[in-house]
Structure 1
């Protein structure tokens, strides 16, 4: 269906991706890329690749989780803004490039947080997730048990 479209992994973040897999318990590199792209988009961090890429991931593997293709498409649609044709099947590679750059930017941001906070990788990830789930405009308390009820580590 997706021909042979591949999603590149930024080689400069290979060590961080291994840490995220081991310490933060991400099951696969695709999960790290999906998380990093969401973080990159939320932070407005889109970073082109500056060096070679690590082993690519087949697009059909990346979009294995039900939400993944939607995430890639939503990021691209928001980036393209006034270009609805970005969703055309013939422009999948362009959507993938946008996704890759946001994933790269997200990994840069995560690495910066790890470097500046001097906290374990898993703690930084948990803080990012907690922050995303917390509405900054409300001062409602959320029980830790509620936040972690759906998380498998």
Structure 2
């Protein structure tokens, strides 16, 4: 289901205390991401994988939701995260609960950013190396079928293997 609420009005908040890390993850600095929205999507996936959902109150300029809608599978990922977080609650996809879906996403992204900051601090490696390590770890976990994402959902959100 696509968010039919006026997406211009919807915004995704970024935690104020994580903004330096978000900036560091951008390609123009030490990272690999072109946009802050991409950082948030990666962080939310990491937060979900590590079961880290952290609320926050202070935030910086939010990102318009339509930015996420323009990223391939961005909106679908946000909706899937909400569905996985609220099993058996089909109403989570209703237009009236769009803000709740976004809040779930924001909190998992904040948790993922906390994990990422911890990994960077512990490894004392370059940001790119930490990101590559996390992606490899996730790929290996997926191969071992230890992923918490059900197989049918995983098929929808992963790219096909052309090898």
Partner residue, 2:131 = 125
Matches within 5 A, 1:23-102: 23-49=30-56, 51-102=57-108
| TM-score between the two structures when normalised by the length of structure 2 | 0.80
Structure 2: 5+ residue stretches without partners? 1-5, 146-163
CA RMSD of aligned residues (A): 1.4
Partner residue, 2:22 = 17
Segments of 4+ in structure 1 off by > 4 A? none
Alignment partners' CA distance in 2, 1:112 and 1:43: 12
Counterpart of 2:25 in 1: which secondary structure?
Answer: helix
Structure 1: 5+ residue stretches without partners? 139-153
| TM-score between the two structures when normalised by the length of structure 1 | 0.85
Partner residue, 1:4 = 9
CA deviation digits over 1:66-123, x for unaligned, max 9?
A: 2001100010001111211001111100000000000000000000001111111111
